[in-house]
Amino acid sequence: MRTEGASTKTRLLAAARDLFIEVGFDDFSLREVARRTHVSATAVYRHYDDKEALLRDVCAEASRVFDSYLERALAAPSARARLRRCATEYGRFAVRHPRDYRLIFMSSSAGRASATPLPFLVERVRESLRPRAGDGADPSGAATILWSHLHGLVSLRLSGRLARLGDDAEFTHYLSETVERLLKQLGA
């Protein structure tokens, strides 16, 4: 019985994410989530009190997966390697979980509970710049530029505007190369 409930909840989360991306907060309904998952509206209410509760779980799950990708960067052996790996993992998350990426970063209504990589990026930039901390480097500004670069390329990719770069592996490689050039310009 517990497995069945977990499976229903997983299906509800996936359907809710997709519906939210399609219609936004105002037109989102638990009834439509129930219809898409082939369960009764009562079954949805067994798991969630209202649409806000369901959407909180949707955003929390997407953010948890996203964070797990960024945290992989911490295994790299040096500060510079961690920063570069962070950028690579950001791109990997986006191409492997495009719906979650859209929910977190490309949905106009998702700001209610969406993740932000900025503090994590700032810390990786700060670590990378630490040896030259006396030169007035701005980790927050550099991290914002890096995030803007990553998000811009990923958004273009997910909207189909960078298909010329090849498959997801080729795109991720391209993203890593451009990040490398950007980080050199930023002095990281």
Condensed to tens digits (0 to 9), the pLDDT of residues 50-65 reads: 988 998 899 888 889 9
One domain, residues 20 and 71: no
**What per-residue confidence (pLDDT) applies to 67?**
93
Amino acid making up residue 177: E
The phi, psi pair for 29, rounded to 5°, reads -140, 145
In CATH, what number is assigned to the domain containing residue 65?
Answer: 1.10.357.10
Number of domains in the chain: 2
pTM score, whole prediction:
0.83
pLDDT, one tens digit per residue, over 146-160 is 999 999 999 999 999
One domain, residues 91 and 150: yes
HSE-CB at 52 with a 13 A cutoff on CA atoms is 1
One domain, residues 90 and 157: yes
Alpha-carbon distances, residue 139 vs 64, 65, 68, 132 (angstroms):
25, 25, 22, 11
**Cα–Cα distance for residue pair 23/59, rounded to 1 Å:** 15
One domain, residues 29 and 83: no
One domain, residues 65 and 20: no
One domain, residues 92 and 180: yes
